[in-house]
Amino acid sequence: MPMNVVVPVKPVVDPKAVVRFKPDGTIDRSAVKLVANPYDKHAVEAAVQLKERFGGRVVSISMAPPHAADAIREVLAMGVDEAVLLSDPRLAGSDTLATSYALSAAVRKLEQKLGRVDLVLCGIESSDSNTGHIGPEIGEWLGTPSVSYVDRILEVGDGYVMVKRLIEGGYVVMRVRLPAVLSIAGTSYQPRIPSLRDVLAARRKQIVVWSVDDVGIDPSLVGLAGSPTRVVKMWKVEIKRRGKIISDADVDRAIDRLLEELRRDGVPLGV
Amino acid sequence: MPVDFELTREQEDVRSTVREFAEKYVAPRVVEFEERQQVAPEIIREMARLGLFGVVFPEEYGGLGLDPVTAGVVLEELVRADLTFSLAVAYLVHTSWGYVAYKYGSEEFRENLIKRAAAGDLWIGIATTEPGAGSDLVGITTTARRDGDGYVISGEKAYISGVKEARERGVWFPDGGGHVTLAYTDKTKLHRGMSLFFVPLTDPNVSVRLEKEFGRKGWSFGSFVLNDVRIPESYRIGEEGRGFYIAMEGFDHARAYIALACAVGGKRAIELAAEYAKQRRAFGEPVASFQGVQFQLADNWARLEAAHALAYKALWALKMEQEGRIGRFEVTKIAAAAKLFAVQAAKAAIDDALRWFGAYGYTEENPVALALKAVKSYDWAEGSLDIMRLIVAREVLGREYIARRRQ
């Protein structure tokens, strides 16, 4: 059974780049390269694997300014069939609630276009704000089941998927009715490095740009005005802790020294 | 504004893709290449999947149709991750000689072999040197005689890269590989009597012997004996009697890539050593704060920057030649100058950089030490440094100053 999968992909500041901060504590985004959120690439990989196995289409949606197109080409190279860029000045300043609303509206529009969307696969979080909200919130807006921390999709059946969900100290296997929203953990679905041919072809692919009006988004629910979250202050965390290396050719002696230091620091050891 | 050092977006995409692969999969295994004296086959298969063996071949033959400058961008990333230069050799020899084989090969050859080479199913190497002839190629004794609808080749080639990888089918390359091989079709005409042939090393009448290499141990090096090896006429590359000249063209490609590999390898060695010198303290200071180190670093870096720019000029010249905008001999001159300069710049830089490591420089776990051994091969590979000097002098002074052959 072919599956249509939508993957929200967030363009983020390259985590490997050296970033500069503005006086107000926010990142200076003017001169930094945007890349696809590394966590989202696991979701893209999962979606492309589903397509390779069952057929169907994989569409990515990103909400970002127009210059984020380069980041989206990364996922086009990985096998995404079509990329939609939701770009509108009215979306600027959206928090996760407003963003998930806008993205869910785009999913509904894609539903009309494709006839059916079976799965929305999200990354577990973004590398720049790390909230992990977007997946479950899209599920709420769409009124579908949503499962977070999905390690693997174990089985695809008629109208359902069986997934392995990570929990503290173990995992649960869940059967989920479709359509559904899954947040894919970074534990499996290692993102492929695309071939140069696919990379070059991605450069030639068209990215569809949609505005707030194209998608039928209520403008009062997005942007700063539509965002209940208020960022009061941002500051750089100073890491004051310092590592200490205990080296000793005799491992037992090294462990004794470590225990001794921990006891001296008042760490409860239970031994 | 004709001089421009900026890469295109396409080239940036190529760079970031190859860098991701090289940092993730190649860099952690480099010391292993040297120890096991081979590149892990899965690394080569992954390179094939990424399309790295098809960069310069036209799209109609399954390649990416990219120019030598972009092929250089790929090479840079392979060298940065692998200072043993094993992957550099695997890539640049195939890219240079594969291109020449494509350019002068028959349509049948392109359909059957270039397509496989571009897909990374078949590796293409080069074999001109023999036990009795290197810089003076007129001294080769390998001969090819016509036999029905093909040729029968006999002789011996020595100090050849990639003999093991080409010989063994289904390990590094599904079809193994072969070498663009220089042979006489008419000995009486000296270099005008030479021709080039693609010789599959998987042929049962080829026997291979491996040398114990000084460095760059991940890609094999050795000799092969051709014992009446029969090949079809379509394996002849270019016309009979043109082999020497076509080989000279192939050398231009390989020399430009070698120059780039040396410049980038030298820079990488300096970077690694500089990182160490910033951490390591002596006499109460980081080693990097001593001017004895700083002045060496600056002199070497300046030479490497110059070598880097000259290497790209050589690759640019190859591209210009492909577009018919620059003459053959101009390309030869720039490529020879680039190799001459870059090899020396890299050797000096790596040698100096290694000293900043102190005694840790004298171990085989140190990639910079492996680089020092590897670049030594470029004193000879694809033309010795003295031959580079002769070429540059000949092109600057004029051909009437070519030293005459003593009869």
* Residue listed under structure tokens 């940065």: B80
What's the confidence (pLDDT) of residue A234? Answer: 81
CB of B24 within 8 Å of any CB in chain A?
yes
- Beta carbons of A196 and B64 less than 8 Å apart: yes
Residue A257 lies in a domain: no
CB of B42 within 8 Å of any CB in chain A?
no
Q: For a pLDDT cut of 70, what percent of chain B falls above it?
A: 99
Q: Which CATH code of 1.10.3210.10, 2.40.37.10, 1.25.40.340, 1.10.540.10 fits the domain covering B9-123?
A: 1.10.540.10
Return the CATH class of domain B124-240.
mainly beta
Residue A180 lies in a domain: yes
Tell me: the pLDDT tens digits for B190-236? 999 999 999 999 999 999 999 999 999 999 999 999 999 999 999 99
Query: Model ipTM?
Result: 0.93
- Beta carbons of B49 and A194 less than 8 Å apart: no
* Domain extents in chain B: 9-123, 124-240, 244-401
Domain count of the fold of chain A: 1
Q: Rounded to a whole number, what is the distance in Å from the CA of A268 to chain B's nearest CA?
A: 35
CA–CA gap between residue B230 and residue B237 (Å, rounded): 15
Q: Give the per-residue SS3 of chain B.
A: CCCCCCCCHHHHHHHHHHHHHHHHHHHHHHHHHHHHCCCCHHHHHHHHHHCCCCCCCCHHHCCCCCCHHHHHHHHHHHHHHCCCCHHHHHHHHHHHHHHHHHHHCCHHHHHHHHHHHHCCCCEEEEECCECCECCCHHHCCCEEEEECCEEEEEEEEEEEECHHHHHCECCCECCCEEEEEEEECCHHHHHHHEEEEEEECCCCCEEEEECCCCCCCCCCEEEEEEEEEEEEHHHEECCCCCHHHHHHHHHHHHHHHHHHHHHHHHHHHHHHHHHHHHHCEECCEEHHHCHHHHHHHHHHHHHHHHHHHHHHHHHHHHHHHHCCCCCHHHHHHHHHHHHHHHHHHHHHHHHHHHHHCHHHHHCCCCHHHHHHHHHHHHHCCCCCHHHHHHHHHHHHHCHHHCCCCCC
Residue A85 lies in a domain: yes
Q: Rounded to a whole number, what is the distance in Å from the CA of A208 to chain B's nearest CA?
A: 20
Q: Judge whether residue B407 has pLDDT over 70.
A: no
- Beta carbons of A193 and B24 less than 8 Å apart: yes
Q: Judge whether residue B174 has pLDDT over 90.
A: yes
B244-401: CATH number:
1.20.140.10
Residue A214 lies in a domain: yes
For residue A195, list chain B residues with Cβ-Cβ distance below 8 A. 49-51
Residue A82 lies in a domain: yes
**Chain B: residue nearest A194 by CA?**
B50
**Where residue A147 sits, what CATH number does that domain have?**
3.40.50.620
The range of the structural domain enclosing residue A166 comes to: 5-221
Omega cis (within 30) before A23: no
Determine the average pLDDT of the residues in A103-118: 97
Tell me: the pLDDT tens digits for B246-289? 999 999 999 999 999 999 999 999 999 999 999 999 999 999 99
Residue A251 lies in a domain: no
Q: Do residues B381 and B216 make contact, with C-beta atoms less than 8 angstroms apart?
A: no
Q: Of A63, A124, A120, A121, give the one whose Cα is nearest residue A94.
A: A63
Residue A70 lies in a domain: yes
Tell me: the pLDDT tens digits for B284-327? 999 999 999 999 999 999 999 999 999 999 999 999 999 999 99
